[in-house]
Amino acid sequence: MELQQMRYVVAIAEEKNFTRAAERCFVVQSSLSHQIKALEHELGVTLFARNSRRVELTAAGEAFLVQARASLEAAERAVSDAAAANGHIRGTLTVGVIPTVTTIDVPAALGQFHRAHPAVRIRLRGGGSDEFMAAIGTGSMDVAILGLPDSTPPTGVRTRVLARERLVAVVSAEHPLAGRRRLRLEDLADEAFVDFPEGTPGRVPSDLAFQAAGIHREVTFEAMSTDLILDLVRQGLVIALLSPAVIPVGSHDLRTIPVTAGPTRVEYLAWSSFNPAPAAQAFLDSLTRPPVKYAADFTAVAGQPPRSSATGTRP
């Protein structure tokens, strides 16, 4: 059995197609098929159920895939550790990025890191904080930026607090509340909201704030994209509670309004507490250690810089 055969299995499992897997592995399909048949013969099991239209893993294939991935990761880690011992950083860096990053200029940070360590392959993953913490725990992700309620600290990972901020109400410029300088949660009780899906860390701070106040909140729309959320607000359909830093500069059709006793959110940099890979450690070292910030309440027309030091850059 060879590592290359394991790579072929992983490629076929992910592509669900022999032709695409062969293209991904830069081999002709006949060679890839031959290697898979040889591997199946050696193991005495069938890894893939296939016909002219479909390719699926068998039960044996599912079991083999888990260990094949682990073996490939171990082999890659061995190479990267050896290179790091000789002063060269290589391997793979997997970074998780939530949709509402406000404290790190992710493209700039990755650009700086890539220029310093061009041999490292960088994988960006989108998603939520919970799945990122789980992925770091299993070793399938190196570093992530998390956004969590102030009352729910991260678990199972090492973290650095990047910022604490209070969310603001975002309304369209034509909304009846657009002229208000400050709101209470009670003022929003009859409003329709757009928010992140129920149960996700991006939404929990707002749900907790309304629950603590004993106020029912009607979330009419759910979305994972802040751009889509803001577009729905622009249409006058709903209002939102978001970090002030995610409001694009120049958005004169939106208004942001501070909310007394409104929800708060903490942004973290997270990584594995157990033996981080050289590429992960180098990336962490490349990030400057920003001061902990608290985004103070403010009243602002969207498009004007808030009185907060958070950088409103999103991936």
Element (H, E) at 51: none
Label the pairing between strands 254-260 and 183-184: parallel
Q: Write out the E strands in 13-138.
A: 48-50, 55-57, 91-97, 120-126
What pLDDT, on the 0 to 100 scale, is given for residue 244?
87
Q: Which residues touch 39 (CB under 8 Å, ≥6 apart)?
A: 1, 5, 8, 9, 47
Residue 68: burial class (beta carbons within 10 Å; 0-12, 13-18, 19+) = buried
What backbone phi and psi angles, to 5 degrees, belong to 285?
Answer: -65, -30
Q: Does domain 165-265 have CATH number 3.40.190.10?
A: yes
What pLDDT, on the 0 to 100 scale, is given for residue 87?
59
> In CATH terms, are 87-151+268-293 and 165-265 the same topology?
yes
Q: What is the pLDDT of residues 89-105, one digit of tens each?
A: 778 899 999 887 878 88
For 87-151+268-293, which CATH superfamily applies?
Periplasmic binding protein-like II (3.40.190.10)
Q: Which CATH architecture has domain 3-84?
A: Orthogonal Bundle (1.10)
Of 308 and 203, which is predicted with more confidence?
Answer: 203
Q: What is the pLDDT of residues 136-188, one digit of tens each?
A: 988 889 999 998 888 888 988 999 999 888 999 999 999 999 999 999 999 99
Task: Tokens for 44, please give them.
Answer: 């005495």
Residue 119 exposure: Cα atoms within 13 Å on the Cβ side:
13
Amino acid sitting at position 289: R
Q: What is the pLDDT of residues 2-20, one digit of tens each?
A: 888 888 998 999 888 999 9
Domain ranges of the chain: 3-84, 87-151+268-293, 165-265
For residues 34-60, average pLDDT: 89
Quick check: 26 pLDDT over 60?
yes
Q: How far is CA 159 from CA 71, 146, 163, 272, in A?
A: 28, 9, 12, 9
- pTM for this one? 0.61
Q: How far is CA 115 from CA 76, 84, 103, 119, in A?
A: 21, 17, 21, 9
Quick check: 232 pLDDT over 90?
yes
